[in-house]
Amino acid sequence: MEYRPLGNTGLSVSVLGQGGAAFGQQYGAVSPAEVADTVHAAVDAGVNLIDTSAYYGRGVSEELIGKALAGGWRDRVNICTKACRLDRDVFDFTPEGTRKCVEGSLRRLGTDHVEILLAHDIEFATDYEYVFNETYRTLEQLKKEGKTRFIGMSCYPLPLLKQAIERCRLDAVISYAHFNLFNTRLLTELLPVAAARGTGVMNASALAMGLLTNQGPQPWFPGPPEVIAACKRAAELCRARGADIAFLGMQFAYSEKSIPCTLSGAARKGEFDANLRALAEPIDRALLADVMAVLDPVRDRTWPCGNWKG
C-alpha cells in the first residue's frame, strides 16, 4: 500500500481509503458480517483511513463500522466522519445541532474521538456565511475539546469548497465527483488553493456517483442526460473490449500522485479486492485513450447541487 501526506495534518494516509456510504444500506442491503469482512480486509491490506457520516443510513454506517473496529481494529485506522447532514433533506449546521450529531457519531463508532470531522455537504446550507463562522467555530471548539484531531468541510461545488478553504482554517476537505474519467477539475480548480494553505484533499466518488459503472447511476442522479449517455457509451466500449469501466475508473483515480487519498465505497470484500487489483495493475493506456475520446463531449461537465448558485 502506498501512503501520502494529507496536507499539513501530519497524517500519512493510504491512497485507497475505505468509504462507508454503502455500509448505510443506501445501495442495497449489507450485513454486519459483510461490513466486518470488508473493513478487516481493508485494514489488513494497509488501508488506514475509513470515511463515514451520520447521514449514511442515518447512523447505520457508523454503527456497523464501530462494531467492525471493536477488539483492537480501531487502533489501526484513522476515522473521518461528517456532521450536519442527517437525512436526504435534513440538515442542521447550528452549533447545537453539530455538537449533538458528533456526540451521536462517537457513540455509534465506539470511540471518544475521530481523527477527522467534517461539516457535510455545505452546499445545502441556506447561509454560507453562517457555516463559515458559526459552524466552523463549533468545529474548532470540538477540536479543542479533543473530540477530533482535525476539522474540515465537504461539498460538490468546487467554487464553494474553495471559499471554505480560503475563509476557514481547514485541515482537510472532501471533494467528490471532480476527479474521474470525464472530469479532472479538482486538479486545476482546488488542489492549488488547498496546497497553498496546507489543506489535505480527499477525493470521493471516483466513479461519479455510479455514472462510470455498468449499472449506471441511481434514478435520483441529478446530472444531465447527455452525461449519463456518454458514460453509458464508455461502459459499453469497455465491455466490448473485455474490460470493466469501474476498474478502469479506479485505476485512473489511484494513478494521480497529487491526490493524497481516493475513497472507495466497496460494500463487500470482493469489491474491495477489485479495488486492490486496480491499485496494483498497470492501466491499459490504449483503452484509456479510447474511453477518454468517447467522454470528450462531456469533458468537465458538472451539475447544480444544493443551494449553490455560483
Q: Does the annotation count 56 as an active-site position? A: yes
The residue from 3, 27, 55, 56 that is catalytic is 56
Domain that holds residue 269: 3-210+249-283
CA distances from 227 to 1, 180, 183, 207, 243 (A): 33, 13, 11, 13, 21
Domain contains 300: no
What's the helix, strand, coil split of the chain in %, to 5? 45, 15, 35
Domain contains 301: no
Domain contains 45: yes
The pLDDT assigned to 296 comes to: 98
What is the number of domains present in the chain? 1
Domain contains 16: yes
The pLDDT assigned to 219 comes to: 86
Domain contains 65: yes
Q: How far apart are CA 272 and CA 181, in angstroms?
A: 20
Would you say 138 and 98 are in contact if contact means Cβ atoms under 8 Å apart?
A: yes
Q: Which helix (H) or strand (E) holds 202?
A: strand 200-204
The pLDDT assigned to 232 comes to: 97
The pLDDT assigned to 172 comes to: 98
The pLDDT assigned to 25 comes to: 81
The pLDDT assigned to 124 comes to: 98
The pLDDT assigned to 310 comes to: 75
The pLDDT assigned to 28 comes to: 76
State the CATH number of the domain containing residue 19: 3.20.20.100
What are the residues facing 117 on neighbouring strands? 81, 151
C-alpha cell at 99: 455538537
Domain contains 204: yes
> Alpha carbon 174 to chain centroid distance?
6
Domain contains 240: no
Identify which of 42, 170, 175, 58 has the alpha carbon closest to the alpha carbon of residue 117.
170
The pLDDT assigned to 231 comes to: 98
Domain contains 306: no
pLDDT means per 10 residues, the chain with 310 residues, are 97 97 84 96 98 95 97 97 95 98 98 98 98 98 98 98 98 98 98 98 95 92 94 98 97 96 93 95 98 98 92
